[in-house]
Amino acid sequence: MKKISKFGIMLGVTLLTMNLYAGTAEFTLDVKKEQGKKMVTFALNKMNKIDLSIYDAEGKLINFEKVDSQKNINRTYDLRALPEGTYFLEAESDMKISRYEISVVGETASLSANPISEIYKPTFVNKKGLIQLTFLNLDKSPVNIKVYDKANNEVYDSDVILDQDVKKVFDINKINDEEYTFVMTYKDKSYSKTFASN
């Protein structure tokens, strides 16, 4: 109870997840037909900034590229240097991380047309000292939210949340000259953002 009173008032509100995501375009990856010859070709639509990574089956990073373009993004990756096996293309935007499978067999390579997994990232918004955290948890996996003060003391712990639409609002206006770090953990990944009170 002391943690909650030190932190201030935690408000639970009903927000439409889509309202907070408005203005943030989701990307789509279109696999091009000319796959083969150990090359994969694809286009990313509706995206200006994206990180593209290729991992091997053990999770070792093989290639990384940060792309910033005002047009559709077209890419061809030459995979001739890679041995046969399964690899993964990860496309990460501010909103989500999509993972696609690359199969290298003999002299050909193919890229899955649909993502094998998609993880939506949480959205942190500061509206006049009200910190809004929203997260679209499509598979209802366990989510945990913690808040830390400037001295790294935990002042809030949500316990496990299994909701599909995770929505929390925190009022940091009640405390002066403090800053708070909000940490959301989901599927062994952590997302954090720090805000100062007014």
For 10-30, what is the mean pLDDT?
Answer: 39
Distance CA(27)–CA(50), nearest Å, equals 9
pLDDT level of residue 196 (50, 70, 90 thresholds): confident
Distance CA(148)–CA(156), nearest Å, equals 7
- 177 Cα distance to chain centroid: 30
Distance CA(98)–CA(87), nearest Å, equals 14
Distance CA(71)–CA(54), nearest Å, equals 22
Considering the chain, tell me which residue range(s) the CATH 2.60.40 domain(s) occupy.
2-21+122-196, 32-119
Task: Write the pLDDT tens digit of every residue in 109-129.
Answer: 989 989 999 888 999 999 988
pLDDT at 22 over 70: no
And the tokens for 53? Answer: 């990574």
For 47-51, what is the mean pLDDT?
Answer: 80
Quote the strand ranges of 7-152, DSSP E: 10-11, 28-31, 39-45, 49-56, 61-68, 73-78, 85-92, 96-105, 108-111, 117-120, 123-127, 130-136, 143-148
- CATH code, residues 32-119: 2.60.40
Instruction: Check if the beta carbon of residue 126 is closer than 8 Å to that of residue 114.
Output: no
Phi-psi region of 112 (alpha: psi -120 to 50; beta: other; left: phi over 0): beta
Q: Which CATH number fits domain 2-21+122-196: 1.10.287, 3.10.620, 2.60.40, 3.40.50?
A: 2.60.40
Distance CA(94)–CA(135), nearest Å, equals 13
Distance CA(58)–CA(78), nearest Å, equals 20
20 SS3 class:
helix
> For the whole model, what pTM was predicted?
0.69
pLDDT at 100 over 90: yes
Distance CA(192)–CA(135), nearest Å, equals 13
- What is the pLDDT, as a whole number, of residue 27? 62
